[in-house]
Amino acid sequence: MVQMKVTKDKMTNLIQAEQMIKRLADQGADMVSLPESFNCPYTGRSFQANSEMIPDGLTTKTLSRIAKENEVYLIGGSYPEKVIGQKKVYNTCVSFDRKGEVIGKYRKMHLFDVDIPGKYTFKESDRILGGNELCIIDTEFCKIGIAICYDVRFAELGQMYAERGCDMIVYPGTFTIFTGPSHWDLVLKGRAMETECYVAAISPARNEQSKFVCYAHSSVVSPWGDIVKQMDEKPGTSICEIDLNYVQEVRSKLPVLKHRRNDVYKIIKLNNSNKK
Ligand SMILES: NC(=O)CCC(=O)C(=O)O
């Protein structure tokens, strides 16, 4: 987990990300994840100003090189994706294999439009478009579902990943300082417990000077719902060893995935039905 302090300068962020990824690779990490909005501050204006084409932009090319040089799987947090002909951008996570090849692209599906009077107002949809596609990356270890931050509140998405054979779900995410203390652990544990997957959520470090002050606390939760690794609010890296046999153990002891009453209710995927 790369819990980096995101600055206003893209190059500084890319250099910092590279140093932290290298540190983790040197310590033996097989897979590294960056946080949501790792190459620019998480504000609508900054997101639009820093948007790049994928895969031809600087950030995607840089991450591909870093994954290849360090021979790690890299889940590229998220960064703003420019699309020709669209004024708004996507909040996108690109994943790479050990050779630096792109193995997945996920566009944040649920947009964070909230108004908590006296505390916090944010309208992601003013400048960002919501994606419509799931993203499963097929690694040498297991299948991993990718989603971004606010998506974690929507149980159905996690359940679709579990139904499609994922043993892990990774959410690069930057929860607010207002919602995180009450909800972060709860939603991560909830998604892990009901999907019986490992859940990892990777946040930037807290930056009190930023317009968007995040909760941080990057975490890994086991399929039983226990927090197996959690960082505090400070910048840093953290490694967690994951035992995929434990996924099968939990699923055989408590087979909630099998007990779902698909004859009564069912989660289905509607193709491109959610364009707003
Ligand atoms: N980056 C986000 O989507 C923020 C989500 C958040 O803070 C929440 O409480 O949900």
For the Cβ of 147 lying below 6 angstroms from any atom of ligand 1, the answer is no
For the Cβ of 176 lying below 6 angstroms from any atom of ligand 1, the answer is yes
Determine the distance separating the centroid of ligand 1 and the alpha carbon of 199, expressed in angstroms: 16
What is the per-residue pLDDT for 272?
58
Question: Phi and psi (nearest 5°) for 187?
Answer: -70, -35
Determine the distance separating the centroid of ligand 1 and the alpha carbon of 252, expressed in angstroms: 33
Please say if the pLDDT value at position 275 is more than 70: no
42 CA: nearest ligand 1 atom = 1
For the Cβ of 114 lying below 6 angstroms from any atom of ligand 1, the answer is no
Q: Where are the domains of the chain?
A: 2-259
Predicted confidence band of residue 255 (pLDDT cuts 50, 70, 90): very high
Span 255-264, average pLDDT: 94
Segments of the chain assigned E as strands: 2-3, 31-33, 73-75, 79-81, 89-96, 102-107, 113-116, 120-123, 128-129, 136-138, 143-146, 166-172, 198-202, 219-221, 227-230, 236-237
Q: What pTM was estimated for this model as a whole? A: 0.96
Q: Among 10-19, 116-125, 168-177, 231-240, name the one with the lowest average pLDDT.
A: 116-125
Span 99-113, average pLDDT: 98
For the Cβ of 25 lying below 6 angstroms from any atom of ligand 1, the answer is no
What is the per-residue pLDDT for 211?
85
- What confidence tens digit (pLDDT) does each residue in 220-239 have? 999 999 999 999 999 999 99
What is the per-residue pLDDT for 276?
40
Q: Is the dihedral of CA 203, 59, 136, 101 positive or negative?
A: negative
Residue among 245, 240, 243 at smallest CA distance from 31: 240
Tokens representing 149 are: 């931050």
Protein residue with its CA nearest to atom 3 in ligand 1? 150
For the Cβ of 184 lying below 6 angstroms from any atom of ligand 1, the answer is no
CA distance 114 to 138: 34
CATH superfamily entry for domain 2-259: Carbon-nitrogen hydrolase (3.60.110.10)
Tokens representing 215 are: 């909760």
CA distance 205 to 187: 19
Name the residues annotated as catalytic: 36, 108, 149
Span 131-135, average pLDDT: 97
Please say if the pLDDT value at position 40 is more than 70: yes
Q: Among 86-95, 110-119, 149-158, name the one with the lowest average pLDDT.
A: 110-119
CA distance 263 to 247: 25
CA distance 82 to 48: 8
Tokens representing 55 are: 């895969």
Span 177-188, average pLDDT: 97
- Among all chains, which residue has been given the structure tokens 């544990």? 189
CA distance 234 to 236: 6
CA distance 190 to 22: 32
What is the per-residue pLDDT for 5?
97
User: How many Cβ atoms sit within 10 Å of the Cβ of residue 114?
Assistant: 15
- Coil, strand, or helix at residue 60? helix
User: How many Cβ atoms sit within 10 Å of the Cβ of residue 95?
Assistant: 25
Please say if the pLDDT value at position 244 is more than 80: yes
